[in-house]
Amino acid sequence: MIEKIKTYVTGLDEILNGGIPKGNEVLIAGPTGSGKTILSLEFLYNGALKGEKGLYVSFEEDEKAIVRNIAEIGLDISKQVDNKMIRIIKYDPYRFENLTDLLSMNIKETGATRVVIDSITAINLYIQEAKDIRKILVDIQTILRDNNCTAFLISEIPSENNKMISRFGVEEFVSDGIIILYYTHVSSEFSRSVLVWKMRGSTHSRKIHPFKISKEGIVIYPREEALIKL
Ligand SMILES: Nc1ncnc2c1ncn2[C@@H]1O[C@H](COP(=O)(O)OP(=O)(O)OP(=O)(O)O)[C@@H](O)[C@H]1O
Ligand SMILES: [Mg+2]
């Protein structure tokens, strides 16, 4: 039996039939504001509470901003950061660090088994060629596999195109799983929903389920179906 890593995000393990197969690289795709960062930080935080170390590689915000923003929804990750259960690093491509070296070094230093890269779309800021992006993604995959990490790779998709999963169309080929967060509206009312598009090594719900972001963080409703127009 494949070992599964529980996300402990309310409702998510249920629609994943138990969790994410250990070692899977999961693309978390969604438009801006859909909840990708919150979901990923909960994945690390919940793991840290169970003794699993986490690494968060951010392209935009630094540790301070991330800790402060997530505290707004009532999730205080500062203790986990202080006691080294979660490490947050900001990757700055303009400082010419090599992303794959940085990733490998930080996984080894921390012993992280849960890893988040927020976002792989941002790689496009400094690499334009699809084949070069693909090479980086394969290198990232190799590092994650060699270190037995279960990872969330965040993919930002344009809000106006719900049918897209990734920006470059290459990300999905190097991921073992895809979870899509929708943020759609009917007239002026926006609603959130989630779909497990694929998950290697596991059966899962094939329905689109509503979710909300509240003071308790993300809450997914496994027994409800979202009726959204894609
Ligand atoms: N306390 C709260 N209660 C309800 N909703 C909240 C709360 N705090 C934040 N949100 C919602 O969560 C959204 C942000 O989620 P998140 O930062 O995870 O999105 P994202 O997909 O990472 O976006 P981006 O692509 O811009 O980074 C906000 O736009 C807001 O709608
Ligand atoms: Mg984000």
Q: What is the mean pLDDT of the chain?
A: 93
CB atoms within 10 A of CB 120: 27
pLDDT of residue 96: 67
Report which bound ligand comes closest to the CA of 33: 1
User: In Å, what is the CA distance from 17 to each residue of 119, 141, 179, 225?
Assistant: 26, 24, 14, 16
Among the residue ranges 116-125, 147-156, 193-202, the one predicted with the least confidence is 116-125
Tell me the backbone φ, ψ of residue 195, rounded to 5 degrees: -135, 130
Distance in Å, CA 40 to ligand 2 centroid? 9
Average pLDDT on 161-170 reads: 73
- Choice between 76 and 164, residue whose per-residue pLDDT is larger: 76
Residue from 213, 214, 215, 216 to probe ligand 1 pocket by mutation (most atoms less than 8 Å from CB) = 213
How far, in Å, from the CA of 38 to the mean position of ligand 2?
7
Q: In this structure, is the dihedral angle defined by the CA atoms of residues 19, 85, 72 and 187, taken in order, positive or negative?
A: negative
Question: Per-residue pLDDT for 185 more than 80?
Answer: yes
**130-146 and 99-110 helices, crossing angle to 10°:** 10
Distance 98 CA to ligand 2 centre (A): 22
Angle, CA of 143, 146 and 150, to the nearest 5° = 80
In this prediction, residues 66-80 reach a mean pLDDT of: 95
pLDDT at 141 over 70: yes
User: What percent of the chain has pLDDT above 70?
Assistant: 99
- Closest ligand 1 atom to the C-alpha of 30? 21
Cα 3 to ligand 1 centroid, rounded to whole Å? 31
Integer Cα distance of 197 and 178 in angstroms: 5
Query: Picking from 40-49, 74-83, 184-193, 200-209, which range would have the lowest pLDDT averaged per residue?
Result: 184-193
Is 213's C-beta closer than 6 angstroms to any atom of ligand 1? yes
| For ligand 1, atom 27: residue with the closest CA | 32
Query: Ligand 1, atom 10: nearest CA belongs to which residue?
Result: 213
Residue ranges of alpha helices (H) inside 90-210 are: 99-110, 130-146
4-220: which CATH number, 1.20.140.10, 3.40.50.300, 3.30.70.270, 3.20.20.140? 3.40.50.300
| Ligand nearest, relative to CA of residue 41 | 1
Q: Which ligand is nearest to the CA of 31?
A: 1
- Taking the whole predicted model, whether its pTM rises above 0.85 is answered as yes
